[in-house]
Amino acid sequence: MHTITLINGDGIGPEISESVQRIIKASGLEINWDLQTAGSDVIEKEGVPLPERVIESIKKNKVALKAPVTTPIGKGFRSVNVQLRKTLDLYANLRPCKNLPGVETRFKDVDIVVVRENTEDLYAGVEEKIDEDTAHSIKIITRKASERICKFAFEYAIKNNRQEVCAVSKANIMKLSDGLFLECFRKVSAEYPQIKSREILVDNLCMQLVQDPTRFDVLVLPNLYGDIVSDLTAGLIGGLGVAQGANIGLDCAVFEPVHGSAPDIKGQNKANPTALLLSAIEMLKYINEYSYAEKIEKALFKTLSQGYKTADIGGNLTTTEFTNKIIENL
């Protein structure tokens, strides 16, 4: 039996985690979930939002499923998510965005994969207050991190039969930092002549994505642009409730949706578990449980095609009702 770390998060995290656990169980796959709490709720008892036991559990099990954890805005503790990615060196944040059956969107045939660098850039947390009226945030771009994320994007393209990798930057303005990212992209792309390569500035990318997203295939981006652009691409396929993700490193992987803890709908049985479920399906493929992954995916797609949906994508089912429909279809 697989033992997998489960961080059930806060906000809507526990509700969607329970839904996904129920669906996986109903598929017939037994998983030994190693439940690990993190975030503001554990600070009181353990003093920190990300206790060492969480890291140790993921290191031991190698795979984790993670629901969102709230990060206080402006003040308070550092993001558990950023800390987890840095500590475990989960350098690649993979966010595939593909239209789902039964989910109506403005564009058809959207099939974009966002590969976001996950360890540096403005997320390195190097900030200083110069005086009352001035703050600095340092953008860190290194050759090592840039080359390995570009390599990851090209390797992904080959393994998944994709045609093109497009590097996204603002190298016309940030000539040294984004310039280095582009330099690394060009070097790595030369090693993959079978995959087309392209470069685009992030502002132009955003404009083109909302005009015609079918122009894009695999995108590789530094951390901040990747974070923002992947919310945009999530919007193209129905919103955050259906956008899956994964953080992948050399030794372990943490699968988590793109969305946050959605405090506005917490505890109301309204949350869409699809994004976490799609992330879990990718996790099952990662641990070579292909038949269960396909079985669950089929049941999810059938449910959506039948018009059973949560409110965020135009339906009227609660989290529990939607989960029950998927289980019926399994």
Strand partners for 220: 115, 167
d(CA 90, CA 252): 7
Compare residues 179 and 260 and give the one whose CB is closer to ligand NAI: 260
Q: Are 238 and 100 in contact, with CB atoms under 8 Å apart?
A: yes
Residue sitting closest to ligand NAI (CB): 260
**Shortest distance (Å) from residue 159 CB to ligand NAI:** 25
User: Which amino acid does the sequence have at 7?
Assistant: I
d(CA 86, CA 121): 12
Residues 6+ apart with CB under 8 A from 178: 141, 169, 170, 171, 222
Query: Rule CB under 6 A: which of 72-111 touch ligand NAI?
Result: 81
DSSP string, 120-142: -BGGG--EEEEETTEEEE--B--
Structure tokens at 242: 């259906």
Query: Rule CB under 6 A: which of 173-232 touch ligand NAI?
Result: none
Which of 75, 136, 264, 288 lies at the binding interface for ligand NAI (CB under 6 A)? 264
d(CA 111, CA 109): 6
Query: Helices H, strands E: what count in the chain?
Result: 11, 12
Please identify, among the stretches 68-76, 118-126, 177-185, 197-205, the one whose residues bind ligand NAI according to the rule CB under 6 A.
Answer: 68-76
**Shortest distance (Å) from residue 232 CB to ligand NAI:** 13
Match 């994964």 to its residue by tokens.
Answer: 246
Which of 95, 148, 151, 259 lies at the binding interface for ligand NAI (CB under 6 A)? 259
Q: Is 283 a residue that touches ligand NAI (CB under 6 A)? A: no
**Shortest distance (Å) from residue 284 CB to ligand NAI:** 19
Pick the closest to residue 121 from 86, 87, 96, 156 (CA basis).
86
Compare residues 35 and 173 and give the one whose CB is closer to ligand NAI: 35
Which of 14, 51, 260, 315 lies at the binding interface for ligand NAI (CB under 6 A)? 260
Compare residues 37 and 70 and give the one whose CB is closer to ligand NAI: 70
Compare residues 263 and 307 and give the one whose CB is closer to ligand NAI: 263
CA distances for 245 relative to 24, 121, 159, 229, 310, angstroms: 18, 19, 18, 13, 20
What does DSSP say about strands 134-137 and 196-201: parallel, antiparallel, or unpaired? unpaired
Q: Is 27 a residue that touches ligand NAI (CB under 6 A)? A: no
Please identify, among the stretches 69-77, 86-94, 162-170, 193-201, the one whose residues bind ligand NAI according to the rule CB under 6 A.
Answer: 69-77
Q: Is 15 a residue that touches ligand NAI (CB under 6 A)? A: no
Please identify, among the stretches 56-64, 97-105, 107-115, 269-277, the one whose residues bind ligand NAI according to the rule CB under 6 A.
Answer: 269-277
Residues 6+ apart with CB under 8 A from 229: 114, 168, 202, 205, 206, 209, 219, 221
Q: Is 118 a residue that touches ligand NAI (CB under 6 A)? A: no
Which of 6, 23, 42, 68 lies at the binding interface for ligand NAI (CB under 6 A)? 68
Q: Which chain residues interact with ligand NAI by CB under 6 A?
A: 12, 68-71, 81, 240-241, 256, 259-265, 271-272, 275, 312
